[in-house]
Amino acid sequence: MRIALYNPDGAAQFWIDGLHAVWPEAEVALWSPGSPAADFAIAWAPPQAFFDEQPGLQAVFNLGAGVDALMRLRIPPQTQVVRLEDAGMAVQMAEYVCHAVLRHFRGLDAYEADARAGRWRKQDVVVRSDFPVGVMGLGVLGTRVAQALRGFEFPVNAWSRQSKVLADVRGFAGAEQLDAFLAASKVLVCLLPLTVDTQNILDHRSLSKLQQGGYVINVARGAHLVDADLLALLDSGHLAGATLDVFRTEPLPSEHPFWGHPQIHITPHISARTLDAESLAQIIGKLQALLRGQPVDGVVHRDRGY
């Protein structure tokens, strides 16, 4: 069995040693042009040449939950694309989103500004029932986020492509219920996969349907958000602020207007980082199942793009 690695998260030797511990006879190596064809691959954002040289590849394991970079490539039709489903990312994402929601809900930015200015004053109390949070996307990460927010007793709405049921979460599904979902939400958390249908979904039309004083948290992909539309709605006062972890161009260019905007918080795509040990264990489990001829979770539907 030959396993090709491309841009593995962490040191390549970690992956080689970990795979050899389970399959000592396997040939595991970093891919470079002209490398022997592999049976399986573990990769993050490989070039087209990677797949052009792998006509017999049985499966490629994507080192992340988002597969939009892979879906832009021509992948052999028989090659299964398998994504990571958690690998330690879900709890990180729940931490990040809850922190962003609570910081805005409790007015902590204002308190920090007051502390720097030497002012002692209390913000008005906000009632939780007036602060519904809407989660777009109910995959593994979105589900964990919605459940974590319920733990803080926020009203939580959730929107997904197909109807899903979560305890104590108000569900919306499909394009016909998107506007109702937005109108029912004060805070919007984007955890959607990036597809043709979801690109630019956070535009002026959709964001203006959020409740007055709405807040946007994007932890999915930068291409979901129309930057100029967010800025216009912040300037108009319809939106109160945003926390952004993902951007159309990364790193975010130094001249981008998001930098220094008083109502926008920026982090460098760190909301949920892939953890090496958890990723290795998950991929080994999935590969063992495939070798036994068993189905695995996380197989990407090419027609949906996720």
Whether residue 23 is predicted with pLDDT greater than 80 in this model: the reply is yes
Q: 10 pLDDT band (50/70/90 cuts)?
A: low
Indicate the DSSP class of residue 211. P
- Summarize the confidence of residues 187-200 as an average pLDDT: 97
The pTM score is: 0.93
Whether residue 9 is predicted with pLDDT greater than 70 in this model: the reply is no
Q: How much is the pLDDT for 65?
A: 85
Q: 126 pLDDT band (50/70/90 cuts)?
A: very high
Indicate the DSSP class of residue 299. B
- Segment 226-249, tens digit of pLDDT: 999 999 999 999 999 999 999 999
- Summarize the confidence of residues 168-183 as an average pLDDT: 98
Q: 14 pLDDT band (50/70/90 cuts)?
A: very high
Is CATH 3.40.50.300 what the domain over 90-266 is classified as, yes or no?
A: no
Whether residue 225 is predicted with pLDDT greater than 80 in this model: the reply is yes
Q: Domain-by-domain residue ranges, the chain?
A: 2-87+275-291, 90-266
Asked whether the bond before 132 is cis by omega within 30 degrees of 0, the reply is no
- Mean pLDDT over each residue of the chain, to the nearest integer: 96
Cβ pair 81, 300 in contact under 8 A: yes
Q: How much is the pLDDT for 87?
A: 87
- Segment 31-55, tens digit of pLDDT: 999 999 999 999 999 999 999 999 9
- Segment 54-112, tens digit of pLDDT: 999 999 999 988 999 999 999 999 999 999 988 899 999 999 999 999 999 999 999 99
- Segment 266-290, tens digit of pLDDT: 999 999 998 999 999 999 999 999 9
Asked, colleague to colleague, whether 2-87+275-291 and 90-266 share their fold, the answer is: yes
For residue 7, is it left (φ>0), alpha (ψ between -120 and 50) or beta?
A: left
For residue 246, give Cα distances in angstroms to 29, 217, 252, 294. Answer: 31, 10, 9, 35
For residue 53, give Cα distances in angstroms to 9, 16, 36, 42, 76. Answer: 22, 21, 8, 15, 10
Annotated active-site positions, please? 221, 269
Cα 96 to Cα 100: distance, rounded to the nearest angstrom: 6
Cα 88 to Cα 22: distance, rounded to the nearest angstrom: 21
Which CATH architecture group holds 2-87+275-291? 3-Layer(aba) Sandwich (3.40)
Cα 6 to Cα 227: distance, rounded to the nearest angstrom: 32
